[in-house]
């Protein structure tokens, strides 16, 4: 047998967006303020996924101003509309849509007053990059001036909205039901190199193609996919979280192996924008779905390389060597083999 064998594997996945088998909802307030700026208030929680940037983009796009001119307000739930938790890949889908609708209502109040002031039809009004104008006329002013006119007429251009995603539980008998309102789909391909002498697996490349609905922030989406792939690689090859009778027996992070920058291959992302018809934004989400196909794709690539199925994660060098020797990845056998290897290492 050659020392180093290469293989490729593929895995596909689907994933439901927002909370399951229930009615998910989120609310938001939006206001066009003095100076032509805007503020958005919602109970959103930023946990590093970039939701605040996305909400600024959503509001700016709907109102016709720059994202830098949007302020996201305090998310204290005692002073802001409910947005629910940060999880279930729901932030963009639920809160993004509520902010979009709230900004649309605020702009509607502004346009109503401006159309009456200019004596034009409201359908002729448009806004973009901090300016407001009426088509087929010479009427054009800044957003700051438009807000001043609106307020001078006694109206504050403010809007509120909520967005709801409906789901039903699964029937316990036949499994029928519709637990999610929308779904995303993804496929990943992994190429690996297996060292048959040491059992080490090196991932040479990952190709990830994901349906995300409308990609509001493409760079942010790619970052989410790359983060999911890195987590999936750790799950596939390194992270060995042990439990006995429901209690962790993993000693700590000192010897808990995590992927580093040296372990991460080139990750090639392709976005498929299949807009969600039930979403005003057309967006879906890409948090947890980016993780789902990674480990199966790597396991399939290992099988393509060595011809043995690895059915237990992580696929450590000890397990790979045991699979090559016995042509089986049985858990009891590789656990015993790992113990023997460790004992032998201690003796030497």
pLDDT tens figures, 5-43 = 999 999 999 999 987 667 889 999 999 999 999 999 999
Predicted pLDDT at 23? 82
Distance CA 320, CA 309 (A): 10
Q: In angstroms, what CA-CA distances link 15 with 28, 98, 166, 185?
A: 26, 22, 16, 6
Residue 331 has a pLDDT of 47
70-72 vs 38-41, strand pairing mode: parallel
Alpha helices in the chain (DSSP H): 51-63, 97-118, 143-152, 218-237, 294-306, 317-326, 331-347
C-alpha torsion sign, points 233, 236, 240, 241: positive
Predicted pLDDT of residue 171: 82
- Two tokens, residue 137: 């006329």
Whole-angstrom CA distances from 307 to 194, 199, 224, 324, 333 are: 11, 14, 32, 9, 18
At residue 62, the 3 state secondary structure works out as helix
Q: Among 70, 69, 55, which Cα is nearest to 100's?
A: 55
pLDDT value of residue 5: 94
62 catalytic? Reply is no
Q: Which of 46, 193, 273, 288 is catalytic?
A: 288
Q: With a cut of 70, list the residues of the chain below it in pLDDT.
A: 1, 20-21, 328-339, 341-342, 345-346, 348
pLDDT of residue 129: 96
């Amino acid at each position: 047998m050659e020392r180093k064998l290469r293989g490729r594997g593929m895995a596909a996945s689907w994933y439901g967006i927002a909370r399951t088998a229930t009615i998910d909802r989120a609310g938001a307030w939006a206001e066009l303020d003095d100076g032509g700026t805007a503020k958005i208030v919602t109970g959103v929680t930023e946990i590093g996924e970039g939701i605040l940037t996305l909400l600024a983009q959503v509001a700016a796009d709907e109102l016709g101003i720059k994202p830098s001119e949007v302020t996201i307000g305090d998310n204290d739930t005692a002073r802001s509309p409910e947005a629910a938790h940060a999880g279930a890949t729901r932030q963009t889908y639920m809160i993004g849509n509520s902010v979009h609708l709230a900004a649309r209502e605020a702009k509607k109040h502004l346009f109503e007053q401006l159309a009456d002031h200019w004596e034009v039809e409201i359908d002729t009004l448009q806004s973009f990059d901090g300016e407001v104008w009426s088509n087929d006329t010479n009427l054009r002013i800044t957003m700051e001036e438009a807000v001043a006119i609106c307020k001078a007429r006694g109206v504050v251009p403010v809007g509120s909205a909520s967005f709801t995603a409906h789901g039903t539980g699964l029937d316990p008998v036949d499994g029928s039901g519709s637990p999610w309102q929308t779904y995303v789909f993804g496929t990943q391909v992994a190429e690996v190199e297996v060292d048959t002498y040491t059992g080490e697996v090196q991932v040479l490349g990952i190709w990830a193609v994901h349906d995300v609905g409308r990609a509001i922030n493409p760079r942010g989406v790619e970052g989410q996919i790359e983060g999911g792939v890195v987590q999936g690689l750790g799950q596939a090859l390194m992270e060995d979280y042990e439990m006995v009778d429901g209690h962790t027996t993993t000693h700590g992070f000192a010897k808990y192996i995590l992927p580093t920058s040296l372990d991460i291959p080139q990750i090639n992302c392709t976005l498929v924008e299949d807009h969600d018809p039930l979403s005003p934004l057309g967006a879906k989400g890409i948090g947890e779905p980016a993780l789902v196909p990674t480990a199966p794709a790597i396991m399939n690539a290992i099988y393509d390389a060595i011809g043995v199925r690895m059915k237990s994660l992580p696929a450590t060098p000890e397990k790979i060597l045991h699979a090559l020797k016995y042509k089986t990845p049985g858990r009891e056998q590789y656990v015993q083999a790992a113990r023997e290897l460790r004992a032998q290492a201690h003796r030497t």
